[in-house]
Structure 1
């Protein structure tokens, strides 16, 4: 008796459970204008399928001259429909972000505009295509930007933070990294960041051991420098090429550990010298070659000075605010200008040049096929 009363109470108190277990709904026959379908029924059970085609001058709303649609709990998986054969289906453009909401089709004359994903740009600067007689007038392409960077070089004893892995990064991307426990970046003002500038990553300040062990660094392009304490002697860079006391140049083995040059590498080793080269976006100041003296000291070493400009577009009224841009020394780039309301040309840019750390902003001009007709 108690069990029967308990069952009755459950039926009263839990109607939601019973509703959730109700059978899936069936679909009514579609109203297909300009075509026909089979099988021809008044209602279709959940999971049932129909096939339809369209009359001359019309095509199904999805690709194919005959297509199927299935009943899914009272709704068709796509509503059967016949459209004008001159309409177009959405173009397939890899690495594109469509500005318009994606629909099943576009009527003739529709102008389709796309934006490329970060790190990609429009091929031949073409961003629109038009639906004409069932096809698009131009096949749009988003190609890799020449100013984008690939996967950054591995930084020994470090890991990139706050950024998921990807194999392509847009220009001006800034990545932050953290050093492994027991390693640190030297210098109070040194930032643990790398920046994508004109297709290359800036060198990463290396994570160095906080103990007396080896030091490891990385430079642009993935060339790794590892300097180990070897031999005897001092790593001091004091002294000049003219030595007092008759000291002579001797083999580099007598000076022990090679001098470290921040953002630079030893690119050539001879019996009597080391040759240094600065990383991309850095310029050498001082001697290119370093020698070892007989008292175990090195001749003066070069320094690598930053050779790029940092442009905050928000600081310039004529430029469209696009954040901070980085330009290599001696390079020219086009930065987009604020478009005037009455100006009909979309491609409106200023040519910006970086020279010895100084920025030169050119006049805002229209660019048509590489030419500036109004400059």
Structure 2
């Protein structure tokens, strides 16, 4: 029974807000008007029904926390799709960075002067090693670009009668050194009990993998031995490629030996004035010492024939100058300079009011040249 003085419509309003003769919308699906500091809403209402679109803009010196000078928000089941906000015109909205991730802001925007560290997705690398974006006066400066790595691989090649079991979900790109494990369908297997059912992304290409061939049960006629038939000949390949990036030929032979794990080769190659800086299951990475430059690829792999690929060489790329052999230079011993670089060598004091004088040493093609002794002013204006 209704209480005295209370309309039956009030009770009904607590349960439903009717929107038609045959349809009613729950009151929980209505959105209250949002609070917007420094801006205005259109239309201005106390509540908005499910599906209603609200338009808003900001006062001078402010802007919406989304792209554009005006924005919208949609009421969905009692909540706004985005929270209307007005921010300082010099602050930044989240940057649009394809193939990248970065730390999201808890307030949905970034204050002027804020840096953002960017991480590229799998298979992508930073162009020019630039990994930081900076909010500067309302826009992002030095925005990093994530581009496809030359070492990444596209979708793994298809293996007949097999499925890949360790890559879920699928990816557009696979980083170098990614291992793909597969499983043969029932009744099929790879030849050899110790053969691993996997292959790797290496330098932009997939290494070859054993085929799945049909298993034949032994019969008295063959003396109890088990044989396999069907599919392709062992080692014929399935669309993968060797270290040179070329796949197997249709006849089952490849132009180069397949790549295998480094433990299948003997002692690692020795590179004078170089060292191994990365040791992986599928390759070795070499780096030259200071004042040496690498000639040839830095990555060395093991071929299935037990031979290493060609190792790089480390060529001298520096000049040296013995300051004791030059009377105009302050004696500090022998100085080494990388090829293509310059260095300032302090001269002995001269009879000038600017007492600090320097000679510029340049190293080009392993040949050292020295300029005359110049003062700070000449050096600053490239007159030396």
TM bracket, shorter-chain basis: 0.5 to 0.7
8 Å CA contact 2:92, 2:140 repeated in 1? yes
TM-superposition CA deviations, 1:250-287 (whole Å, max 9, x none): xxxxxxxxxxxxxxx436xxxxxxxxx4434269xxxx
1:147 corresponds in structure 2 to 151
2:237 corresponds in structure 1 to 218
1:126 corresponds in structure 2 to 130
8 Å CA contact 2:64, 2:85 repeated in 1? yes
Work out which of the residue numbers 59, 66, 70 in structure 2 matches 1:62: 66
Structure 1 spans left out of the alignment, 5+ residues: 1-17, 228-264, 268-276, 284-304, 311-318, 335-350, 363-370
Change (3 A) 1:179 1:70: closer
Change (3 A) 1:224 1:197: closer
Change (3 A) 1:30 1:278: closer
State the shift of 1:47 in Å.
Answer: 4.1
Match status 1:38 vs 2:37? no
Q: Secondary structure at the match of 1:210?
A: strand
Q: Secondary structure at the match of 2:128?
A: helix
TM-superposition CA deviations, 1:201-256 (whole Å, max 9, x none): 221022234346445131533846677xxxxxxxxxxxxxxxxxxxxxxxxxxxxx
Instruction: Please list, as runs of the form range in 1=range in 2, the aligned pairs for 1:159-178 lying within 5 A after superposition.
Output: 159-164=163-168, 165-178=170-183
Measured in 1, the distance between the counterparts of 2:211 and 2:165 equals 16
Q: Between 96-105 and 186-195, report the one with greater CA deviation.
A: 96-105
Instruction: Please list, as runs of the form range in 1=range in 2, the aligned pairs for 1:20-35 lying within 5 A after superposition.
Output: 22-24=26-28, 26-35=30-39
Change (3 A) 1:159 1:52: closer
1:198 corresponds in structure 2 to 203
1:50 corresponds in structure 2 to 54
Measured in 2, the distance between the counterparts of 1:197 and 1:131 equals 37
8 Å CA contact 1:327, 1:333 repeated in 2? no
What is the aligned residue count?
A: 251
8 Å CA contact 2:177, 2:200 repeated in 1? yes
Work out which of the residue numbers 239, 261, 266 in structure 1 matches 2:253: 266
Instruction: Please list, as runs of the form range in 1=range in 2, the aligned pairs for 1:174-253 lying within 5 A after superposition.
Output: 174-211=179-216, 213-216=229-232, 217-218=236-237, 220-221=240-241, 223=247
> TM-score with structure 1 length normalisation?
0.55
1:86 corresponds in structure 2 to 90
Larger RCO: Structure 1 or Structure 2 (Cα < 8 Å, ≥ 6 residues apart)? Answer: 1
8 Å CA contact 1:156, 1:218 repeated in 2? no
8 Å CA contact 2:63, 2:87 repeated in 1? yes
Measured in 2, the distance between the counterparts of 1:112 and 1:141 equals 13
1:281 corresponds in structure 2 to 259
Change (3 A) 1:124 1:130: same
State the shift of 1:118 in Å.
Answer: 1.3
State the shift of 1:120 in Å.
Answer: 1.1
